[in-house]
Amino acid sequence: MLPLAQGPPTALRQPRAARLRALREQRAFQYVEIEENRESPSVWSLFWSKLWEWLGGLFSGPTYETKGRYVIYGLFGAALLYVVLRLLKLDLTTVLGRRARTLPLPYEAMPENIHAVDFGRALADAEVAGNYRLAVRLGYLLVLRRLTEQGLIQWQPDKTNYEYVREVAGTRWAADFTVLTRQFEYVWYGEVALTATAYPALRETREHFLSLLTRAAA
């Protein structure tokens, strides 16, 4: 135990009022927190904030029991349906009642052996059936056969059309054959549905070219 201090009580010194005022005015002794100015969030930030808040509420708490679990069931069901359709190789457009357009004549899927096709009969069948898109294709194959017979191109089933265009380049047939090639690719690969009024102009262009080849070979 320390002995009690003996003697008169200690007198407390008070700082001068001017000194206290000066200290209060210094920033280091101001302990009040000043709220900094913050930029307001953007619309995009508010959107994501609200979205995550909504998703959090949807999949947790009482909302999950009434709505959230049904959303999950629907997502799993859609994923399962997609997998089944892919495994069965079903076309969704046919499942929904839309069928792909089919052509009535068999020449569309045949091997393109231009030397084994009766083009006169094939073209007549396509035109009678109103399948003018197929008629344009058959007419282009006929042009290729005539060019092959005259030694202007070397036909091969795996060649591209523009390989034939390059073979004909520099000859008197180059410009007209390029036009025929563009017409064919636009109609056939672009799947343009030709009408009975539009087809005759294409047929006339093809027949004029074939007649020039015939006269040149005579």
* Residue given tokens 């359709």 in the structure block: 85
Cβ of 150: how many Cβ atoms within 10 Å? 13
Encoded tokens for 66: 């009434």
Rounded Cα distance, 60 and 53, in Å: 11
Task: Judge whether 34 lies within some domain.
Answer: no
205 in the same domain as 115: yes
Burial of 58 (C-beta count, 10 Å sphere; 0-12/13-18/19+): middle
* pLDDT classification of 212: cutoffs 50, 70, 90: very high
Q: Are residue 139 and residue 197 in the same domain, yes or no?
A: yes
Q: Nearest 5°: CA angle at 162, between 157 and 163?
A: 60
For residues 176 and 210, state if they share a domain: yes
Question: In the prediction, which pLDDT does 59 show?
Answer: 66
Q: Binning pLDDT at 50, 70 and 90, where does residue 53 land?
A: confident
Percent of the chain with pLDDT over 90: 35
Residues 114 and 171 in one domain: yes
Q: Is 29 inside a domain boundary?
A: no
- What confidence score (pLDDT) does residue 101 get? 46
Domain C-terminal end among 74, 95, 116: 95
Residue 19 lies in a domain: no
- For residues 85 and 115, membership in a common domain is answered with no
pLDDT grade, residue 56 (50/70/90)? Answer: confident
213 & 131 share domain: yes
Among 60, 95, 130, the domain-final residue is 95
Residues 82, 124 share a domain: no
Distance, in Å, from the CA atom of 14 to the CA atom of 19, rounded to the nearest integer, reads: 10
Per-residue model confidence (pLDDT) at position 156: 87
Q: Phi, psi at residue 15, to the nearest 5°?
A: -70, 155
Residues 72 and 120 in one domain: no
Domain count, the chain: 2
Section 11-34 average pLDDT: 74
DSSP class of residue 101?
Answer: -
Please give the structure tokens belonging to residue 116.
Answer: 């084994």
- Rounded mean pLDDT, 1-15: 68
Same domain, 87 and 123: no
Instruction: Determine contact, residues 141/116, Cβ cutoff 8 Å.
Output: no
Is residue 33 a part of any domain in this protein?
A: no
- 88 lies in the same domain as 116: no
Cα separation, 85 vs 147, whole angstroms: 46
Domain enclosing residue 53, as ranges: 43-95
Are 76 and 47 in a shared domain? Answer: yes
Q: Would you say residue 28 lies in a domain?
A: no
Is residue 127 situated within a structural domain? yes
Are 75 and 176 contained in the same domain? no
Band (46; pLDDT cuts 50, 70, 90): confident
**Is 161 part of any domain?**
yes
Residue 70 lies in a domain: yes
